[in-house]
Amino acid sequence: MFHKIKSIHELFTLKNVKAHMFKRIFLLGLLVIPFAQGLEKDESEYPQIGSIWQLVKNGSHNLSSGPGQVVYFLSSDAYHTYMSREFQMWDSFSTVDTRNLVRLQKNDALKILDIKFEGAIYKVELLDGFHKGKKYYLIGEELKKNFEQENNQDENV
């Protein structure tokens, strides 16, 4: 029994505790770091900042109402709409003032300025129309679904 107490006492010496903890942290790091790197989103799945996109479908024929591609004045409005669509939680949907919406027409272009909320929302600058030069927010799924990226390569062959 005395021998067991002595070995437990040795276990709790400062040097042994430090060595034991460093081994555990090292092993944990070997397991967690590769897993965490796999969870990071690939930057290539997002459009490049500064790229120009053109609306190819779902454009509004009427600027004041009707179906059409909408951009939001406030990022929170765009994010709450995105979350309501994603999780079908329309009871927590925030109302959006229609004065804070801009409906785009077909062939309107925009430029990506920033990526927000892990690619769910994009801050864009409108390049055409009455609101040219102003900053708005666009839901990421709508960018992929309704827009095409303009090709900036010179065709001077």
Instruction: Write out pLDDT tens, residues 56-115.
Output: 987 666 655 566 789 999 998 898 888 888 888 777 666 788 888 999 988 899 999 999
Q: What is the domain range of residue 74?
A: 44-149
Is 59 inside a domain boundary?
yes
Question: Residue 156 falls within a domain, yes or no?
Answer: no
Residue 72 in domain: yes
Q: Is the pLDDT of residue 125 over 50?
A: yes
Find out whether 111 and 49 touch, Cβ atoms under 8 Å: no
Both 74 and 8 in one domain: the answer is no
| pLDDT at 96 (0 to 100) | 80
Are 145 and 81 in a shared domain? yes
DSSP state of 29: H
In a shared domain, residues 54 and 101: yes
155 falls within a domain? no
Which helix (H) or strand (E) segment is 54 a member of?
Answer: strand 52-55
Does 71 share its domain with 128? yes
Q: How confident is the model at residue 51 (pLDDT cuts 50, 70, 90)?
A: very high
Whether residues 109 and 136 fall in one domain: yes
Q: pLDDT tens for residues 29-38?
A: 766 666 555 5
Q: Total structural domains in the chain? A: 2
User: What is the phi-psi region of residue 66: left when phi exceeds 0, alpha when psi lies from -120 to 50, beta otherwise?
Assistant: left
Same domain, 99 and 131: yes
Residue 98 has a pLDDT of: 83
75 and 33 both lie in a single domain? no
Residue with more model confidence, 130 or 37: 130
Helix (H, G, I), strand (E, B) or coil at 56: coil
How many whole angstroms separate alpha carbon 155 and alpha carbon 134?
Answer: 30
pLDDT of 155 > 50? The answer is no
Residues 25 and 96 in one domain: no
Same domain, yes or no: 25 and 91: no
55, 128: one domain = yes
Q: 145 and 71, same structural domain?
A: yes
In a domain, 154, yes or no: no
For 8-43, write each residue's pLDDT tens digit: 666 566 667 777 777 777 776 766 666 555 555 555
In a shared domain, residues 51 and 103: yes
Structural contact between residues 122 and 138, judged by C-beta atoms closer than 8 angstroms? yes
